[in-house]
A and B are shown apart, each in its own frame.
Chain A
Amino acid sequence: MTSASEHLTKPLMTSTEPATTMELKLRRRARISSLFRYAVLAAFGLLMLYPLIWLIGASFKTNAEIFASPSFWPKEPTLDGYINGWKTSTPYTFGHFIWNTLVIIIPKVIGTAVSCTLVAYGFARFEFPGKKILFMTVIATLLLPNVVTRIPQYLLFRDIGWLDSFLPLWVPSALAGDAFFVFMLIQFLRAIPRDMEEAARVDGANTLQTLIYIVVPMLMPAIISVCLFQFMWTMNDFLGPLIYISSVENYPVSLALKLSIDTTEAFDWNQILAMSVLALAPSLTVFFLAQKYFIEGISTGGVKG
């Protein structure tokens, strides 16, 4: 069936001869329609990104100007929002909250990468008793709404004395708790041929050495995707800290920002906007540096599901 259609389309695809008027007409129409498409896409893209552009501009505006014009460009640029926002209404600077966020993110990302790689390797390359059922639990966890397990998790962490510490925020992830990542790595691993690993085994490497020296290098793009997604999600996580962190000293950025809305609401808008920019900056930077991994990760994790 494919060969027949290829045969039919061949004359159309390889027309190097002078074009007929009919073809010229078609080509012109195609060019106009693609021009139109570009225009629509560009206008739409600008509309999509304008809130973010406005946010950055408005963070340099005076409070009087923020709600005065829809333009993003500040007429009298000022750093007041950043300077005052950085001080916060607490005894700590905003830098302290960024530091807290880092202290959560680093063990969480490393723990996720290591544990999910080990687990995905176990699922994708070995047979063991109960594998089928365990794999089904991965899928079930993927679909299980967190809302069901949240209350007992809170009680569990209370009983082992982890409340108001960072542990509840990263330990579950370091035990391959995010089924999405396990699933994504298994999908990637299944697509990698086993020849190299088998050759290494024949040469006397044990399974752990094979994992470290053969599998991990090949799986690296996927592992990087996992780290990046986990980084973003942790930066954005609000409900977790809201439930588990109670003292301001331990607040991550997301809670600190919410606190600053609640306390400086009345008229210091530019402070809140400036700190919002700072809260988004790490995610945006990482995304633009490594966007390829995001797109690949989400395409593979999603499409093959």
Chain B
Amino acid sequence: MGGDNRFLGLAYVTPYLVGLLFFTAFPFAASFYLSFTNYDLLSTPDWVGLRNYEKLLTRDRTFDKSLSVTLLYVAMTVPLKLGFALLVAVILNYRLRAINLFRTAYYVPSILGGSVAIAVLWRYIFAHNGLVNLGLTSLGLEPVNWFGDPQNALFTLTLLRCWQFGSAMVIFLAALQSVDKSLYEAATIDGANRWHVFRYITLPLITPVIFFNLIMQTVQAFQEFNGPYIITNGGPLKSTYLLPLYIYDKAFKSFDMGYASAIAWVLFAIIMTLTLIAFWSSKKWVYYAGDRRS
């Protein structure tokens, strides 16, 4: 539509432009500014320079605890969830007739996702005499203190998110199904076994999707809020006190907006750094078959 007014396209994206300015760009800049201030909502923001960051990084025990819990949570959740999603997708990808039925069944938990009701359910089935422990004792095993023990609580939250591997799996499955079947046949004739085919043909071809899932899941895991807030409220002994909970408490319970913004920016910096590392390293391991896609 070359003959059109050059600004016609701009008119169509105006809603986005307005939203971007008011609800993303301005808050983004304001948040950076606030992180250098003291602001309790009542007076005006009071410039304190780097003091928030200094306190955060050197003298805040809660932050240290919260950061290590968050990193541990992400390091457990993302690989477990993605590994699981990939494994199930690979199994489903063998020409099974009921593939759609299974795909739907496995996808249901992710659709319900962060719902409060699911968090409630998790609390009940992992309660001391809840479903899981009843199952364990009927198998003759010892019941586990899932949420009461600081050693286990974070892992039980991880299980909740791994249970929701469905959306990552659907993306993997779509990628697996788009792999050219003749490549498999050629490799099998050349004497490759199943593992070789998977390792040297399938895996390289789906690296773009692994990359996409990795980034999306990591960004999401760093922002986990509903699970720990509703199920454990950060406890016991702050063992599930993820950074988003700390930010929420600082901002909306103690109304320490400046300090909360500083925590948010540290979290943002961590996420950005990891994303940039992922993008930078992707040149080495992500295979883009640009010319083979139509």
Contact pick for A5, options B19, B120, B186, CB 8 Å = B186
A41 and B120: CB pair below 8 A?
A: no
Q: Which of B126-164 contact A (CB under 8 A)?
A: 127, 129-131, 134-135, 138, 163
In the bound complex, CA of A277 to CA of B17 (Å): 39
Contact A70 B138 (CB under 8 A): yes
Q: By the criterion CB–CB under 8 Å, are A258 and B230 in contact?
A: yes
Partner of A151, one of B22, B209, B212, B257: B257
Q: Are A294 and B107 in contact (CB under 8 A)?
A: yes
Q: How far is the CA of A66 from the CA of B102 in the complex (A)?
A: 29
Q: Is the CB of B120 within 8 A of A272?
A: yes
Q: Are B16 and A149 in contact (CB under 8 A)?
A: no
Q: Are A182 and B8 in contact (CB under 8 A)?
A: no
Task: Check: A148 CB closer than 8 A to any chain B CB.
Answer: yes
Tell yes or no: B207 within 8 A of A by CB.
no
Cβ-based interface call for A93 (8 A): no
For A79, the chain B residues whose CB sits under 8 A away are none
Of the listed stretches A14-22, A218-226, A279-287, name the one at the interface; the rest are far from the partner chain: A279-287
A128 nearest in chain B by CB position: B9
Shortest Cβ gap from A12 to chain B (Å): 8
Q: What residues of A have a CB within 8 angstroms of the CB of B124 in the complex?
A: 58, 66, 269, 273
| B24, B108, B213 pick with most chain A CB within 10 angstroms | B24
A9-B185, A261-B230 in contact; A70/B223 too (CB < 8 A)?
no
Q: Would B19 and A70 count as touching, CB distance under 8 A?
A: no
Please give, as numbers and ranges, the residues of chain A lying within 8 Å of B129 by CB-CB distance: 67
Chain A residues near B261 (CB-CB < 8 A): 151-152
Please tell me if the beta carbons of A126 and B16 are within 8 angstroms of each other in the complex. no
Q: Which residues from 204 to 229 on chain B have a C-beta closer than 8 Å to any C-beta of chain A? A: 209, 212-213, 215-216, 219, 222-223, 225-226, 229
Residue in contact with B34 in the complex, picked from A69, A152, A233, A295, CB distance below 8 Å? A152
Q: Confirm or deny: B277 has a beta carbon within 8 angstroms of a beta carbon on chain A.
A: no
Candidate in B124, B230, B261 with the most chain A CB atoms within 10 angstroms? B124
State how many angstroms separate the Cβ of A262 from the closest Cβ of chain B: 10
The winner among B10, B115, B175, B183 for most chain A CB atoms within 10 A is B115
Q: With the chains together, A98 CA to B26 CA distance in Å?
A: 33
B96 interfacial by beta-carbon distance below 8 Å: yes
The answer on a CB contact under 8 Å between A238 and B114 is yes
Residues of B within 8 A of A (CB-CB), count:
101
Q: B111 at the A/B interface (Cβ < 8 Å)?
A: yes
Q: In the complex, what residues of A have CB within 8 A of residue B80's CB?
A: none
Tell me the nearest residue of chain A to B134, going by C-beta: A70
Contact yes or no, B115 A279, CB < 8 A:
yes
Q: Is the CB of B226 within 8 A of A238?
A: yes
A207 within 8 A of partner (CB): yes
Contacts of B216 in A (CB 8 A): 302
The answer, yes or no, to whether A38 is at the interface (CB within 8 Å) is: yes
Taking the closest CB of chain A, its distance from the CB of B45, in whole angstroms, is 10
Asked whether, in the complex, the Cβ of A295 is within 8 Å of the Cβ of B108, the reply is no
Contact A5:B34 (CB < 8 A) given known A37-B94, A41-B102, A303-B174: no
Q: Is the CB of B15 within 8 A of A176?
A: yes
- The SS class assigned to the B binding surface is helix
Chain A 104-144, CB-CB to B under 8 Å as 1, else 0, gives 00000000000100110111011111110010011001011
CA distance A243 to B117 in the complex (A): 19
Contact check, B108 vs A52: say whether CB atoms are below 8 A apart.
Answer: yes
Q: Chain B contacts of A232 at CB under 8 A?
A: 111, 113
Given the contacts A172-B19, A295-B107, A303-B174, A34 and B96 also touching, CB distance less than 8 Å = yes
The reply to whether B7 and A144 contact each other, CB–CB distance below 8 Å, is no
- Fill in one digit per residue for A54-73: 1 if any B CB lies within 8 Å of its CB, else 0: 11001000000011011000
**Are B27 and A153 in contact (CB-based, < 8 A)?**
yes
Closest to A243 in B: B252
Q: Which of B91, B116, B122, B163 contacts A48 (CB 8 A)?
A: B163
A45 contacts B102, C-beta separation under 8 Å: yes
Looking at B50-58, B59-67, B265-273, the stretch in contact with chain A turns out to be: B265-273
Near B by CB (< 8 A), chain A positions 193-211 give 197-198, 201, 207
Contact A280 B264 (CB under 8 A): no
B81-116 to A contact mask, C-beta < 8 Å, 1/0: 000000010011010101000111111110111111
Chain A residues with CB under 8 A of B116 = 236, 238, 253-254, 257-258, 276, 279
Q: Which A residues contact B (CB, under 8 angstroms)?
A: 1-2, 4-6, 8-9, 12, 34, 37-38, 40-42, 44-45, 48-49, 51-52, 54-55, 58, 66-67, 69-70, 115, 118-119, 121-123, 125-131, 134, 137-138, 141, 143-156, 172, 174-177, 182, 197-198, 201, 207, 232-233, 235-239, 243, 253-254, 257-258, 261, 269, 272-273, 275-277, 279-280, 283-284, 287, 291, 294-295, 298-299, 302-303, 305
Residues of B within 8 A of A (CB): 1-2, 4, 6-13, 15-20, 22-28, 30-31, 34, 88, 91-92, 94, 96, 98, 102-109, 111-118, 120-122, 124-125, 127, 129-131, 134-135, 138, 163, 167, 170-171, 173-175, 178, 180, 182-183, 185-186, 189, 209, 212-213, 215-216, 219, 222-223, 225-226, 229-230, 244, 247-248, 251-252, 257, 260-261, 264-265, 267-268, 271, 275
- Can you list 12 contacts pairing A with B, beta carbon distance less than 8 Å? A5-B185, A49-B108, A51-B163, A115-B15, A137-B20, A143-B219, A148-B264, A153-B27, A269-B124, A291-B107, A302-B209, A302-B216
